[in-house]
Structure 1
Amino acid sequence: MAKKWGIIAIFLFGVYALLMYVYIFHNGGGGIPATLKGTVADPNVFMSERELYLSEEYSRIKNFLFFVSIPYEWLVYLFILITGLSLAFERWIPLQNKWAILQNGVYVFLLSVLTFILLFPFDYYRYFLSKKYGISTQDFNSWMSDNVIDFWVNLGTTLVIVTVLYWLINKSTKRWWLNAWLLMIPFSIFLMFIQPVIIDPLYNDFYPLTNKELETKILALAEQAKIPAEHVYEVNMAEKTNALNAYVTGIGNNSRIVLWDTTLNRLSENEILFIMAHEMGHYVEKHIYFKIAGYILTTLVGLWLTAKIMPWVIHRFGRVLKIKRVNAIHSLPLFLLITSFLLFVSSPISNYSSRYQEIRADQYAIDLMNDPEAAVKTFQELTKSGLSEVNPPLLVKWFRYSHPTMLERINKVANENELKE
């Protein structure tokens, strides 16, 4: 029976991958509308012929990998279940019925190592592509070092979550989802609070911006936005990427204004100030609080759905999946599969909300800086540095784009400038 379900799952995955390949590589969508050809939003105007070719090729491969890698992850969880590996991991745990944190730690470690190995080909191929197309400048050793840090950070947070989660499930198989949700709220806010000062520095070096004149101008913008920041931080990303970025992160006194050194090296002062005005727009519009509220709401719905789906799946397919009961640690791959699926199918909604917030932040920066030339140039440089599609196919936009397309962003600035003129 398990073999039959495994074959069916692989067949469905193959059919899905073929359909996505046809859609992404032979859809013909995502072109430039005739009315915008020759305008500042047309990549043919601001990108070289080679950049256009690389952008199209790289974007298609990257999009295909995205749509294939997530169902592949589901396939991995299914494989771990139907082969009995998850149940075997639980049985291998020493000191059964003693010290739950130790038992969970061993199980989570074994599961994390296995999933890391099985998902590694996709991770490595993404790294290979980014190197091949000139996005990444990171050598393999540095990239692997970041992966190892990721592994241990994720292991630590997963262990805490899993230990509390299964303790709650054992306490109440019917109401665990509500109790888990209530505990997730302070835990998530705590992670947001410590991320800028503890987690982020594990990957990169942060130091005060060396260009003090620019820092003064950025802090003047921050003062207008009422951001409690005394310094602007620079992060050494040039040794890892050619992409550009800047952001405002953290909560309260832990807020940080951060600029990648690639942004400093490639953009003019006015363009940098426009980017910073955009990031501060998120703060002024209180988007971080809307995101927290959205996360809290979606977590509630997700946990409730998972609590309904898991028992049903175990009742119907428990023998095939080698799951004996919902409150056993070996049911964790099923929990991860369900939550991953729910996150994927709900991503168009979360991306739509994020794109709206990005539009608002763009508008704030446009109004504050009143420099349409810098705004257009910034968006063009962001497109070139990341070899981004300015107008992706619809499904790609729905599932992948948390920001408006560059076509929309550039055209918005251009239209507003025409209106003012």
Structure 2
Amino acid sequence: MAKKWGITALLVFGLYALVMYVYIFHSGSGDIPAGLKGTVADPNVFMTERELYLSEEYSKIRNFLFFVITPLEWLIYLFILITGLSQVFERWLPLKNKWAIVQNAVYLFLLSVFLFIALFPIDYYRYYLSKYYGISTQVFSSWMRDNVIDFWVTLGETVLIVTVLYWLINKSTKRWWLHAWLLMIPFTIFLMFIQPVVIDPLYNDFYPLTNKELETKILAVAEQANIPTEHVYEVNMAEKTNALNAYVTGIGSNARIVLWDTTLSRLSENEILFIMAHEMGHYVEKHIYFGIAGYLLTTLVGLWLTAKLMPWIITRFGRVLKIKRLNAIHSLPLFLLITSFLLFVSSPASNYVSRYQETRADRYAMELVADPEAAVSTFQALTKAGLNEVNPPLLVKWFRYGHPTMLDRITNVAGEKETMEQDAP
């Protein structure tokens, strides 16, 4: 039966990958509408022929990998279950019936190492692609260092979460999902609070903006927006990427506005001020807090669905999946498979909300700095630096884009420019 399941899963995955390959590489979707050709939103206007070719090629590969990797992870979880590998990891646990956190740490270490090795070829290929197309500037040793740091940070968080989770399942097989969610609220807020000062500095160096003249202008814009901040932070990303970015992170006293040094070196002052105004829009409209609330709501629904699906699957297919009972740690790959699937299918909804917030932040930036030319040139520069698609296919937009497409963003700010010119005396 397990062999039959494995073969069926591989066939379904192969068919799915073939369909996605045809859709992404041969559907012809994502072209620029005829009415926008020759405008500032048309990549043929602001990108070279070489950049256009690389952007199209690189975007298709990345999109295909995105749609294939997540289902591939589900296959790996299924393989771990039906081969009994999860039970093997559990049998290797030392100190039986003592110190559950130590037992869970050993199990999760073995599981994480297996997943790291299984997915490493794909991770390396993505790194290679980014280097090949000139996006990444990171040397292999630095890339591996980030991977190792990420491995241990994720493992530490997961050990704590899984230990509490299975303790709750042992205490209440019916209501564990609600208790887990209630504990997730303070844990999520705590992680958001320490992220800028504890976790992020493990990967990069952060320091106050060195260009004090520019910082003064940014702080003046922040004061205009009634944002209480004393510093804008700069992060050294040039040694890792050619892409451009800026973001708001953290909550409370640890909230930060962060600029990549690549953004500082390659954009004009007016373009940087527009980006800062955009990030301030997120702060003013409290998108971080709405994001936390949305995350907690989706987590509640996800945990409830998982609590309903896991017992049913174990009752019906537990023998094939080599799962003896719900509260055993060897059932964790099934938990991860279900939650990964739920996250994937719900991503169009979460991305839609995110795109709405980004549109609001763009509109706020336009009102704050009133510089549509800088807005258009900023979006064009972001597109070129990241070799991004201006108008991706519909499924790609739904599942991958937490920001509006560059076509939408440039068209919107260009429309604002026309409105401002018409309103001018």
Q: Give the TM-score of the pair, scaled to structure 2.
A: 0.98
Q: Distance in 1 between matches of 2:300 and 2:191?
A: 18
Which residue in the other structure is 1:285 paired with?
285
Q: Distance in 2 between matches of 1:145 and 1:93?
A: 28
1:131 is displaced (CA, Å) by 0.2
| Matched letter for residue 326 of structure 1 | L
1:225 is displaced (CA, Å) by 3.0
Q: Distance in 2 between matches of 1:316 and 1:228?
A: 56
Summarize the alignment of residues 65-214 of structure 1 with structure 2, pairs less than 5 Å apart: 65-214=65-214
Which residue in the other structure is 1:314 paired with?
314
Please state whether the residue corresponding to 1:234 is helix, strand or coil. strand
Native 8 Å contact 1:130 1:136 kept in 2 = yes
| Matched letter for residue 191 of structure 1 | L
1:226 is displaced (CA, Å) by 3.3
Which residue in the other structure is 1:36 paired with?
36
1:223 is displaced (CA, Å) by 2.2
How many residue pairs match? The answer is 421
Q: Distance in 1 between matches of 2:143 and 2:91?
A: 34
Which residue in the other structure is 2:272 paired with?
272
1:8 is displaced (CA, Å) by 0.5
Which residue in the other structure is 2:369 paired with?
369
| Matched letter for residue 246 of structure 1 | A
RMSD: 0.7
| Matched letter for residue 122 of structure 1 | I
Gaps of 5+ in 2: none
| Matched letter for residue 230 of structure 1 | E
Q: Distance in 2 between matches of 1:369 and 1:290?
A: 24
| Matched letter for residue 224 of structure 1 | Q
Q: Which moved more, 1:254-263 or 1:216-225?
A: 216-225
| Matched letter for residue 236 of structure 2 | N
| Matched letter for residue 405 of structure 1 | T
| Matched letter for residue 401 of structure 1 | Y
Q: Deviations over 1:64-108 (max 9, x none)?
A: 000000000000100000110001110110111111011101001
Q: Distance in 2 between matches of 1:105 and 1:78?
A: 21
Q: Distance in 1 between matches of 2:164 and 2:114?
A: 22
Question: How many percent identity over aligned positions?
Answer: 83
Native 8 Å contact 1:228 1:255 kept in 2 = no
1:229 is displaced (CA, Å) by 2.1
Summarize the alignment of residues 315-394 of structure 1 with structure 2, pairs less than 5 Å apart: 315-394=315-394
Which residue in the other structure is 2:59 paired with?
59
Q: Distance in 1 between matches of 2:68 and 2:319?
A: 28
Q: Distance in 1 between matches of 2:39 and 2:189?
A: 44
Q: Distance in 2 between matches of 1:273 and 1:420?
A: 19
Please state whether the residue corresponding to 2:258 is helix, strand or coil. strand
Q: Distance in 2 between matches of 1:97 and 1:86?
A: 18
Native 8 Å contact 1:354 1:402 kept in 2 = yes
Structure 1: 4+ residue segments shifted above 4 A: none
Please state whether the residue corresponding to 1:276 is helix, strand or coil. helix
Please state whether the residue corresponding to 1:258 is helix, strand or coil. strand
Please state whether the residue corresponding to 1:207 is helix, strand or coil. strand
Q: Deviations over 1:257-301 (max 9, x none)?
A: 111000001000000000000011000011111111101110000
Q: Give the TM-score of the pair, scaled to structure 1.
A: 0.99
1:419 is displaced (CA, Å) by 2.0
